[in-house]
Chain A
Amino acid sequence: MIIRKGSFICCLLILLSGCWDNKDINHRLMPVVLGITGEGDQYKAYLQVPRPESDEMGSQVIIEEGHTINQIVNKISVNMESSIDLLHIKVIIVDKELAEKGLSDLITGFMRSRDISSKALIAVSESNLDDLFSKISHYKAPEGSILLDYFEKNAGWEPQIALTRIWQVYRSIHSYTRDVAIPLVGMGDTTFLNHTGSAVIKNGKMVGRISSDETLLYNAFSGHSTNGKIEVLDDASVMILGNQLMTKNKFENDKPYLTTNISFKVMILETKNNPSAEKIKKELDKLLMGRLEGLLEKSQKNKADIFGMGQYFRKEIPRDKLKNWRSNYYLALKLDLNVEVDIQNAGNLKIPSK
C-alpha cells in the first residue's frame, strides 16, 4: 500500500510540476519597446531590452532584419545567450513610411500569435528609427524605457497624446465605422521626444495627420479625460478641468445628422489686459469650435471616421449598407456642433464679470 501511494505521488510530482521546456527568468530577454521599419520587402526591428545595472535600470538595443517579425526574433534568439520573449512589449514604434504603406499584416500577425500583448501601445515615428534607438539608451528610466513612461497614464501622458492600442488598430482594419488616431513622435532637440500630432489610421493605413491640439478633441470625443490641458487664448490661458459629451442622432432621407454638445469646464490661469469672464468664454468657445469643425472637415476628406460617428447610426442603417459608411454616408454627415464653456473658477483672484 505504501509503495503504491509512494509511486503515485512520484507520478504526480513529475506530471504536475509544470516544468516543461520552460526557461528560467534569468535566461529570458524581455524587451519593452519594439521599433519596426520596412526595408524593401523586409522588416527591420529594434528591440530595447532593459538591463538592471548596479544602482539603476540601463538598457540595450538589439537590431535585426528579416521577412517577418518572428523570423527576426528567432534570428536574435539564435545569436543571443538567452531567448527573447515578446510578452512584455509595451510600446511599438513604427516608421512613418511603413505606416503609410499599411500596417495590416503586421497587426494581424500580432493578434494571431498572441506573443505580443494586444494591449501594447502603438506610435508612429517621423524621425529615422536608427537615430531614435541610438539615443534611447542614454535616457535612463525607472521602468526600463523612457518611451514607456512617455505614454503611461500615470507618468508622462498628456491629454493631447492619442492613446491607441494594438487591438484598436486591428479593429479599425475590419470595422465599418471606426478608425483610429495614433501618436506621431519625432526626435526632440532638448527633450528626447517631440510630439508632433497624430497619424490618422484608416483600415490599417496612415492616411493623414492631425495636430496635437486636434488630438485633444479626438480624445474628448473618444471619452478620455482632457484634464490638465492648457489652452492659450489672445486674452488669457485656461486649464481644462473636465469635459462632457452629449450626442443626438437623426437619420432622414438617407442622410445622417448629428447634434453634439461638448461642454468643457475650465479654470483661468493667466490673463492679459484684464478681460471679462464673458469674453474669455466666448473666445474659447470660438477657438474650440473652429478647431473641431476643421478637424471634422479634414477627416471627412480622408474618409476616416476617427470619431466613430458611424457608431451612432447602427440602429438606422442596415449592416449591408453600413459597410459603405465611410464612402457614402460619412461624407454626407451634417454635424451640428455646440461647444459650451463653463468657467468653474478663476483661481485666487477675482475676475470682472462684464
Chain B
Amino acid sequence: MDKSIQITVFYILTHMGLIFFLYPANIIESTTAAHWIPICIGLFVHILIVIIYLTGLQFFPHKDLVSIYTASGATMTFLFLLPVGVYFLMINIIAVRAYSEIIMIIFLSKTPLWAIMGLLLFSATYLAYKGLKAIFQTGLILAILVLPLILFTIVVSFQNVDWRYIYPIWNDDFSFFNKSVYYKSFFAIGGSFLFLGFVHPVLPYRPKMVLLSVIAILPLFLISVYVPIMTFGQATSSNFLFPYVMTVDAIQLSWLMFNRVTMFFLLGLVIFITLFMALVLWKTARIMHAFLPLRNQGLLVILLAIFIFSCALFISDWKEIEMIFGWNTPLRFYVVFGVPLSVLILGLRQTKGETTP
C-alpha cells in the first residue's frame, strides 16, 4: 500500500514545527541584510541532501537505515549508526527542554517546567510506543484539524507588512559563514528528513511525492524570516527570541472572535513538535534495538523517555540549552551529510557487486 500522503504530510508538519520558532532568529542574527542569501544556501543544501538520500535509499527497497548499516559490517555500524543514535538522543533532549522553555516563555509562565516536559514527553512516548503506523496516522488527522488554522495565521501575518523593508536586496557581506548561529539554523534544515530512511519498509512511499513536499516547505522558510523583517525591520526584529511569534502577536483582526490568534498558532506548532519528538524517540529506540536486541522495542521507548526526562531536568537555563545546541551542531553536520552520502555509496557498491559477480 502506498502511503505517500502520510509521509508528505508528516514531512510538512514536522518542518513547520521546527521552522517557526528558532529558525528566524538564527537567520536574522547571522546577517543584517539580504537574508534570502543564507536562507537559499540552506535550502539548496536541504534539497541536495534529500535527493541524495532518496536516491541512495532506492537501492534498498526493503531495508531501513538500521538494517542497511548492520548488514554492511561493524565498521559502518560504528561509523554511522552510533553517531545517528547519539544525535537523535541529543535532539530529543534538546527538543523536550527547549520547547518546554518556549511554551513557558510564551504562554505558561507559571506552570512548573517538569510538568510541561512531562506532558510533552508523555504524549510523544505514547505515540512512539504504539509504533510507526500510529505516529503517521495521527499526523494525518492532526494535519486535517490544525493545518487550516496554521495556514490562516500565516496568511494574516502579512497584515502589518511594509514591503520596503525588503531592501537592500543584495549584500556582499558573507560573514554569516563565520557565525556559529548560522550553523544552528540547520536544525530546521536538516532536523527531520532522516526519517525517510526508517519508514519505507513499513510505509512505502513514492520519492516524487516527497520532493513535492520539499518544494511545499521552501516558501515557509522565507516567510518565517521575511514577515518579521517586513513588519518590524531588521534593527527591531534582531532583539526578539521568536520573531515570527511576535509578528503573529501584532495581528489585529476585529472581526475575529478570538483576541489572540497566536494561541492557536502556537498550540498547533507544539502539537507538530510532539509528533516530531515521538518519531525521533521511535527512531532512537529502533537504533538501540540493533545494539540491544530486547524482545520488546516498546520497553526501550519507555526507558529512553525516562532517560531523556531526567537529562532534561538537569538543564537549568536557556544559556545551557544554547550551549548543548552548539555542541550538537558539528554532530548534526556529520550526520546530515554523512548518512545520505554513505547510503548512496553503499547502494552503488551493492549494485556493482550484483552486476559483476
- Residues of chain A touching chain B, judged by Cβ–Cβ distance below 8 Å, are 15-16, 20-21, 88, 111, 114, 117-119, 152-154, 165, 167, 170-171, 173-178, 308, 311-312, 314-315, 318-319
Residue-by-residue, is B103-134 near A (CB-CB < 8 Å gives 1, otherwise 0)? Answer: 00010101100010011001000000000000
The residues of A that contact B233 with a CB separation of less than 8 Å are 171, 174-178
The residues of A that contact B260 with a CB separation of less than 8 Å are 117
In Å, the complex CA distance between A153 and B32 comes to 36
Also in contact, A21 and B111, with CB within 8 A (given A15-B119, A311-B164, A318-B168): yes
Q: Are A21 and B110 in contact (CB under 8 A)?
A: yes
Interface residues of B in 154-171 (CB under 8 A from A): 162, 164-169
Is residue B45 within 8 Å, beta carbon to beta carbon, of the partner chain?
no
Q: Are B33 and A319 in contact (CB under 8 A)?
A: yes
Residue-by-residue, is B228-244 near A (CB-CB < 8 Å gives 1, otherwise 0)? Answer: 00001111100100000
With contacts A21-B111, A314-B165 known, what are 16 further pairs, Cβ within 8 A? A15-B118, A20-B111, A20-B115, A117-B260, A118-B246, A154-B254, A165-B250, A171-B236, A173-B236, A175-B235, A176-B233, A176-B235, A314-B167, A314-B168, A315-B168, A319-B234
Q: Are B162 and A311 in contact (CB under 8 A)?
A: yes
A-B pairs, top 7 by smallest CB distance, nearest first, are A314-B167, A315-B167, A174-B236, A311-B164, A174-B235, A167-B250, A171-B236
The one of A88, A165, A167 that contacts B246, using a Cβ cutoff of 8 Å: A167
Q: Are B236 and A16 in contact (CB under 8 A)?
A: no
Q: Are A117 and B33 in contact (CB under 8 A)?
A: no
- Residues of chain B touching chain A, judged by Cβ–Cβ distance below 8 Å, are 32-33, 106, 108, 110-111, 115, 118-119, 122, 162, 164-169, 232-236, 239, 246, 249-252, 254, 259-260
Closest residue on chain A to residue B255 by CB atoms:
A154
In Å, the complex CA distance between A114 and B232 comes to 17
Q: Are A114 and B249 in contact (CB under 8 A)?
A: yes
| Min C-beta distance of B30 to chain A, whole Å | 15
| Min C-beta distance of A84 to chain B, whole Å | 13
| Min C-beta distance of B37 to chain A, whole Å | 14
Q: Are B164 and A314 in contact (CB under 8 A)?
A: yes
Also in contact, A119 and B236, with CB within 8 A (given A15-B122, A314-B165): no
The one of A118, A152, A176 that contacts B249, using a Cβ cutoff of 8 Å: A118
In Å, the complex CA distance between A24 and B144 comes to 31
In Å, the complex CA distance between A314 and B119 comes to 47
Q: Are A167 and B254 in contact (CB under 8 A)?
A: no
The residues of B that contact A154 with a CB separation of less than 8 Å are 254
Chain A CB within 10 Å — which of B32, B33, B166 has the most?
A: B33
19 CB contacts below 8 A, A to B, read A20-B115, A117-B260, A118-B246, A118-B250, A119-B251, A165-B250, A167-B232, A167-B250, A170-B236, A171-B233, A173-B236, A175-B232, A175-B233, A175-B235, A175-B236, A311-B165, A314-B164, A314-B166, A318-B168
In Å, the complex CA distance between A171 and B168 comes to 19
In Å, the complex CA distance between A311 and B249 comes to 23
| Min C-beta distance of B216 to chain A, whole Å | 30
| Min C-beta distance of A309 to chain B, whole Å | 10
Also in contact, A119 and B119, with CB within 8 A (given A167-B246, A171-B236, A311-B164): no
Q: Are B168 and A319 in contact (CB under 8 A)?
A: yes
In Å, the complex CA distance between A318 and B34 comes to 12
| Min C-beta distance of B109 to chain A, whole Å | 8
In Å, the complex CA distance between A114 and B108 comes to 11
Closest residue on chain A to residue B108 by CB atoms:
A20
In Å, the complex CA distance between A317 and B168 comes to 8
| Min C-beta distance of B162 to chain A, whole Å | 7
Closest residue on chain B to residue A323 by CB atoms:
B235
In Å, the complex CA distance between A117 and B254 comes to 14
In Å, the complex CA distance between A21 and B233 comes to 38
The residues of B that contact A314 with a CB separation of less than 8 Å are 164-168
In Å, the complex CA distance between A86 and B108 comes to 14
| Min C-beta distance of A178 to chain B, whole Å | 7
In Å, the complex CA distance between A220 and B225 comes to 29
In Å, the complex CA distance between A171 and B229 comes to 11
Q: Are B254 and A165 in contact (CB under 8 A)?
A: no
Also in contact, A167 and B168, with CB within 8 A (given A15-B118, A15-B122): no
In Å, the complex CA distance between A178 and B237 comes to 14
The one of B162, B165, B239, B252 that contacts A174, using a Cβ cutoff of 8 Å: B239
The one of A15, A21, A119, A311 that contacts B250, using a Cβ cutoff of 8 Å: A119
Closest residue on chain A to residue B236 by CB atoms:
A174
Q: Are B259 and A88 in contact (CB under 8 A)?
A: yes
Closest residue on chain A to residue B234 by CB atoms:
A319
| Min C-beta distance of A149 to chain B, whole Å | 13
The residues of B that contact A20 with a CB separation of less than 8 Å are 108, 111, 115
In Å, the complex CA distance between A187 and B32 comes to 45
Q: Are A117 and B168 in contact (CB under 8 A)?
A: no
The residues of A that contact B122 with a CB separation of less than 8 Å are 15
Q: Are B168 and A114 in contact (CB under 8 A)?
A: no
The one of A114, A170, A177 that contacts B106, using a Cβ cutoff of 8 Å: A114
In Å, the complex CA distance between A20 and B259 comes to 23
The residues of B that contact A308 with a CB separation of less than 8 Å are 162
Closest residue on chain B to residue A152 by CB atoms:
B254
Q: Are B259 and A117 in contact (CB under 8 A)?
A: yes
The residues of B that contact A178 with a CB separation of less than 8 Å are 233
In Å, the complex CA distance between A308 and B111 comes to 42
In Å, the complex CA distance between A352 and B155 comes to 49
In Å, the complex CA distance between A119 and B234 comes to 20
| Min C-beta distance of B11 to chain A, whole Å | 27
Closest residue on chain A to residue B247 by CB atoms:
A167
| Min C-beta distance of B164 to chain A, whole Å | 4
